Structure 1
């Protein structure tokens, strides 16, 4: 009976220690997809940008207006095309300030405050809200919605 309790206790302890590590590695994998997206954007690598997304992904922006917010939509294909056709002399740099990632099995959500720069000059700030799904080929962004403003901005 004592041996049985030791085995059960050992199994419980192993589970308690292994699950957070699994969760943290999945959270890091989600962060890497988002990092790759913005690295691809900065280097104008359209293939790298496209690889971060599910093919039917959706992109939206909250457009804050005094009379009330509206939501603008864009396809991933249009976004990838804009990145591919960005002039060589233009630098796009979205700097992520923090990653707040939650994972439940094959679904992940990431909240990422950011500051955006064009040619080294501050353009705007806001927050990205990503929804990702773990597919056969890995984590893919299926949805992103963001806010954009000039101030107040996190540092």
Structure 2
């Protein structure tokens, strides 16, 4: 009888281990999918491909920037449509390159958050640095950016 209980316990532990492993693999897969959307955004920006950029966002997604001031920060806002238009109209001789330094991604079901420190270059020259904070949702078409806010500074990068 003790042998039977031991087999049941081992089978139960094996099942739990398999479930935890499966959850971890699924979470890593979601992390990679979220990262791919962010990479597509910046690849589209470098290519000046407005459609590629727009495809990463929910249509109504707000975009904001924290603007540091002497008496506290303000928040500037922009629409995805304006951002896409500016990217599409970037002159041929201007190269924009946002270099993501790290990805910290958290996923819970169909919601994800990504924290991405970055450096921004124009024509190969350093412009500014900061952090992007993305909120994403999984839709029928895949992961989409629902909100982005960033910081920008020239020093302390």
TM over 0.5: yes
Residue 68 (structure 1) aligns with: 72
Are 1:111 and 2:115 counterparts? Answer: yes
Unaligned ranges ≥5, structure 2: none
Match of 2:9 in 1: 5
Q: 1:140 aligns with which of 124, 141, 144?
A: 144
Render the CA deviation track for 1:73-102: whole Å, top value 9, x for unaligned: 000000000001111111000000000000
Task: Tell me if 1:85 matches 2:89.
Answer: yes
TM-score in terms of structure 2 length = 0.94
Question: Structure 1: how far apart are the matches of 2:111 and 2:51?
Answer: 24
Bigger CA radius of gyration: 2
- Structure 1 segments, 4+ long, off by >6 Å, are none
What secondary structure, in the 3-state scheme, does the structure 1 residue paired with 2:131 have?
A: strand
The number of residues matched between the two structures is 153
Unaligned runs of at least 5 residues, structure 1: none
CA shift, 1:6, in A, is 3.4
CA-to-aligned-CA distance 1:14-71 (integer Å, 9 cap, x gap)? 0111111110110111000000000000010111100000111110000001111000
Give 3-state SS (helix, strand or coil) of 1:129's partner: strand
TM-score (norm 1): 0.96
Describe how 1:124-135 pairs up with structure 2 within 5 A.
124-135=128-139
Partner in structure 1 of residue 25 of structure 2: 21
Q: CA deviation at 1:147?
A: 0.2
What do you get for the CA RMSD once the two structures are aligned? 0.9
- Does the residue aligned with 1:112 lie in a helix, a strand or coil? strand
1:50 lines up with 2:54 in the alignment: yes
Q: Distance in 1 between matches of 2:9 and 2:83?
A: 57
